[in-house]
Amino acid sequence: MQGGMLKLETMKADSKEIFLDAGDMSVTINTWANHEGASIMVHGKGPELPLRMAGAFRWEELDAILVALAAARAA
């Protein structure tokens, strides 16, 4: 560091972790401690638990994704 100051902060916040076993895949949702969204991981089954999808979205973005998925399924 060039003449700068190092500042370290630690905070503890509550969040929720939800697990869903859906047969040939599993879904994990971690809600954000600030209540603004969630992180998602979808894994396939098998010895290596292959990652099929991961993302971090605000609730408004997740709502838009749900609407788009429902429209795609109904089409």
State the pairing for strand pair 17-21/25-31.
antiparallel
Residue 25 near residue 52, CB atoms below 8 Å: yes
Digit-coded pLDDT (tens) for 39-68: 999 999 988 889 999 999 999 999 999 999
The token pair at 48 is 């290596």
pLDDT at 11: 81
What band does 5 get if pLDDT is binned at 50, 70 and 90?
confident
DSSP 41: E
